[in-house]
Amino acid sequence: MGERPPRTSYGYLAPPDARVQGWECNNDGCGTGDEPAPHSWPYPCRECHRPTDATFEEPWAHDARGYKIQNHLHSPDHHLRGMAELEQHSWAYKDAWLRDDRLAADRAWRAYRRARPPRWQETDGYWMTTKSMSEMVRLAAAFDDLDPAIHDVLECYPFINTGDVDEDNTRRTISRTFVSMCIAVLVRQSSIDHPREAELHAAMRDVAGRIESVLLDQHHRGFRRIAEIRALHRTRAAIVRTRRSSAVAFDGLPPISAAIALGRGPCATDDPHDLPGVSELDSKRVLALADAAITIAETHDDTGPLDELVQRLDYAGTYPGLIRLLQGRRQIVTGDLDAAVAELERGSHEDDRLARRLRPQILATLGLLLVRIDPKNLELGIECCRAGRQAGLRWWRRTTPADAGLARLLLWRGLRPGSSFADGPGDVHEALRLIRRRSRLGHHHGADDQLLLQEALAARDALAGNTGNEHRHRAWRDSVNTPWSTAARARLAVAWAEWAVGTGVAEFAAEAYQQLVALASQDAVARYGAGAKQRVLAAAQEYAEEAGYWLARTGRYREAVLALETGRAVGLTEVIGRDNAVVFDRLHAAGRADLADEYRRAIEDFDEQERHPSAGLRGSWAYLRDVARRIAAVTGADPLAIAVNYDDIIAATGDGALVYLGAAKAGGYALVVAARHDPQYVDLPKLDRASVAGLVAKVLPETEGATGLRSFAVVNGKPAGARDLSAFGQTTTSPMTEALHTLWNDGVRDVVLLSARGRIVTLVPVGLLNLLPLHAAGEPSTPSEEPAGRRHIGQFSAIRYAPNARALRRCRDTARELAVRKQSLLAIDVPDGHRVDPRGHLRYVARETIEIVRRWTGLPTSPSHACTWEEFRSAANEHTVWHLACHGSAEPGSILDSRLYFADRQVTLEELRRALATGRRRLAVLSACQTNVSGIALPNEVVGLPSALIQLGFAGVIATAWAVDDLATTYLMTAFYHLWCREENEPAVALNRAQQWLRTANQADLTALLPDIEPPGAPGDCPYTDSEHWAAFAYTGA
């Protein structure tokens, strides 16, 4: 820096220590300036050659501006004077915040509002007010004073005129400034969950949408930043809610055995399934057995050993405090938390010798449970844990079984929003001190202790402003790789993901979620209880989507695809299952009894390693996966989730692009695999998990009654069957149509128009997206409109689905093998299903089977009317194409109980899987309601009739996602068989063309197809334009 600058032309004399930034010319008609500062003063302007003024760094720049504003207030130039009259208030507002004077800041803002002209939005000089307001809003955002900023921005929103912005510079500038003000507020973390956040965001999107052609790069960068900070907030908040909710109430509870709880290492125990007489055991052995029984209950949802232990203790009349604690833990596992609280409270008052020793465990469990039931109980929970710690302290022992619970709650209090700065560090440091004692060298500590230690260290770093995230990231990785049980490692990985997302570093989050996907496949195999396995699989779908999102954010697109493929595979294993007898039956049928025995031994060894974790667990898991690979080679079905390599996925793209679709908490995305190069990433920010969940709620049909069928209605004196939606009317836009339009606008359009065009495109939706009819996305149309003018995904490509790339490849191989010989058709119809309400009579299904048989070009056949289950089962294995026209229903909450309605009985999906033999077959057409629905609780499981039939050997399956119109289905199926059999289109292409035809068909077209049936509607109408009539049918497979 040069010598001290002289007094400026507007009267400011900087102090000697002021740092000069550059120079500016304030002479009339000039206004130029530059950086850096000159070495000497006075310095002449490069344009007008008159003396210039110095510009300063903060805080001197703020002082200098105050002098300049005062100077302009006395300027003869009315524009300068008018601007200064407004700017003096923005200067006073900033000055107040620099002095941390909130009251003065409020006074300055009120003075600014009074200084603005009345109805300033309609005056000729409102651009001047808008400019000063922009500065006020940016200052308010910088100081997190958002209430007045948001109020004033929304106040001027109705006056933003975006007409002719391409030509009108004033309107263009003001509109851009409005969007910039919105961005300045919404990029602040404090704007998240503000009462008027949504209102401001909607205003910004509206104006930005109207001036999209003139927006600048800085605006688009701002939009991305707004989306990113909200994505990170949603992701971490969702993880925190899950980890602290009552749904995982048993996570992190203290062990029963004092030796384990105090970090002295686990006791060797017998299998709690084989209990000896309790009276023969000392208390130490009983406590070790109790821990083993609780582990089984929490890991597998198997409360049998725990119930038996409680029963024997109760019979022996010993240890009443332990009985209360065990009963409370059992109630936690079963979800009856209020009963658990009651048992623990009673246990805390028991006074036998063992009860006094267990009081720390009882009180800590009670404290944690109270907080998980209601976070408002946090202070009460901490009080319980402190009482438990006090009960366990001795003069020779400073560590108690209650310490971990107390540390956990102290961390929650220290880091919760709104906690005082003074209390937060104290709570965190106390928690760190407690958990460090438990984790010190020479003391055995479990995975939950390590989890708490890492969280406490991360919290300390955050409070201290320490940004050494690399070191903490390595510590999390090392903790997860420690040889604990798979379930324990998964809990650590979830905490790791929460921390990683909080850092905002995509690489950290990607690695944590990638580890979670790998652990989920192992954890699903390790658990044998149905409920416990379902929890793991439900989490696996989420982990896969999150891993795919964060890996894609780091540019690791191939790994993102592999994460999604693995996540799908984890769910697909449940179509067969690790211990399912079908696996062993198929191996014996193939003459591989030796492989069946090896598989059984591998499972037993893996289970033993899970019960007693050691370094050998990874080797045991690798061996089990190797055996499963060999089983897949023999049976064509993999009993485990086996990771695939990218070449396996590329091999499935021979006839069109493969599009993986995921909805992470932070936003949706697509990964398009079309050749050997890296996948193409398509960002779909509006299709985040919360938004997709809202769409699913609109699309999924309501079910009523024991059968799960839609309630029947009587309209105009005529009964409406389950395949008959015409009775429900078409006077307004349906929720289905709205949802499909949203899907189109919010992402599907970009995928099909820009990234995945082709004759056939295969979708692999993951998680909740698997429940949506993506193949039907498009712009809505009504019978009064010309449907051909509305864009729809099927106009660009024939859409089909695949469970995953491996399954698609098997389907293609089957289709190729069967293409060289004629197919045989089994066409059955059931107008009146077993125990279906008579009003549900399906009038047109018999005509449907007659028409498709007429158009069939394979081996001669005839339809089977009013078909029974026995008739179908006896004939099914002889045919390669099945067509079932009947009632069907889905039970999304228990998908294997979904059923088809034959004339003599109802057949569930589970029974269908077991009763029918596997074999190579070409196509199954399920012309019934709700045959393409997967489980809501477990959408990534992909269990439904399509997946079950693909496992039976079918190359392709056509099924419906909701109740379908009886007559419309007859038209659609007739057109489909004509296009497939007579015109020799591939089935997926034939279905697509049939749907497009029905969508645009008028009365004359329908009459030409089925001359003796009168179509609905008036002459010239297109009665089946609405997506509810044709979009339910989806093609899965090849």
**454 vs 106: CA distance, rounded Å:** 43
Closest CA to 522 of 622, 382, 396: 622
Q: What is the pLDDT of residues 822-853, one digit of tens each?
A: 999 999 999 988 888 888 888 899 999 999 99
**Rounded alpha-carbon distances, angstroms, from residue 640 to 599, 632, 910, 917, 942:** 11, 9, 19, 21, 15
Which residue, 31, 36, 113, 24, is CA-closest to 80?
A: 31
Q: State the pTM of this model.
A: 0.78
Nearest Cα residue to 858 out of 921, 928, 950, 946: 921
- What pLDDT, on the 0 to 100 scale, is given for residue 990? 95
Q: Identify each DSSP E strand in 886-1008 by its residue range.
A: 887-889, 899-901, 906-908, 921-927, 954-960
Cβ–Cβ < 8 Å for 573, 638:
yes
What is the per-residue pLDDT for 178? 92
How do residues 98-154 score in pLDDT, each as one tens digit? 999 999 999 999 998 888 777 665 556 666 777 888 899 999 999 999 999 999 999
Pairing verdict, β 668-673 and 657-663: antiparallel
pLDDT in tens, 523-570: 877 777 767 777 777 777 788 899 999 999 999 999 999 988 887 776
Can you give the pLDDT at residue 54?
92
Backbone angles phi, psi at 883, to 5 degrees: -130, 115
Q: What is the DSSP letter of 933?
A: P
Q: Give the pLDDT of residue 894.
A: 61
Place of tokens 């302290």: 393
pLDDT tens digits for range 174-221: 899 999 999 999 999 889 889 999 999 999 989 998 998 899 999 988
**Residue 847 parent element (H or E):** helix 845-855
Q: Find out whether 794 and 992 touch, Cβ atoms under 8 Å.
A: yes
Query: Do 52 and 44 touch, CB atoms closer than 8 A?
Result: yes
Cβ atoms of residues 463 and 427 within 8 Å: no
Residue percentage of the chain with pLDDT more than 90 = 32
Sheet holding 906-908, edge to edge: 887-889, 899-901, 906-908
Contacts of 712 (CB under 8 A, 6+ apart): 719, 720, 721, 722, 837, 839, 840
What kind and span of H or E run contains 673?
strand 668-673
pLDDT of residue 362: 94
3-state SS string for 764-779: EECHHHHHCCHHHCEC
Output phi, psi for 887, to 5 deg. -75, 150
Residue 585, number of CB atoms within 10 A of its CB: 13
Closest CA to 367 of 403, 335, 393, 333: 403
Look at residue 719 and tell me whether its pLDDT is greater than 70.
no
Task: Give the pLDDT score at 730.
Answer: 36
DSSP for residue 653: G
For residue 1025, give the nearest of 857, 824, 783, 815 by alpha carbon. Answer: 783
Q: Select from 866, 896, 885, 837 the least CA-distant residue to 710.
A: 837
List Cα–Cα distances, 541 to 755, 757, 962, in angstroms. 25, 27, 23
* pLDDT (mean) for 286-306: 87
pLDDT exceeds cutoff 80 at 716: no
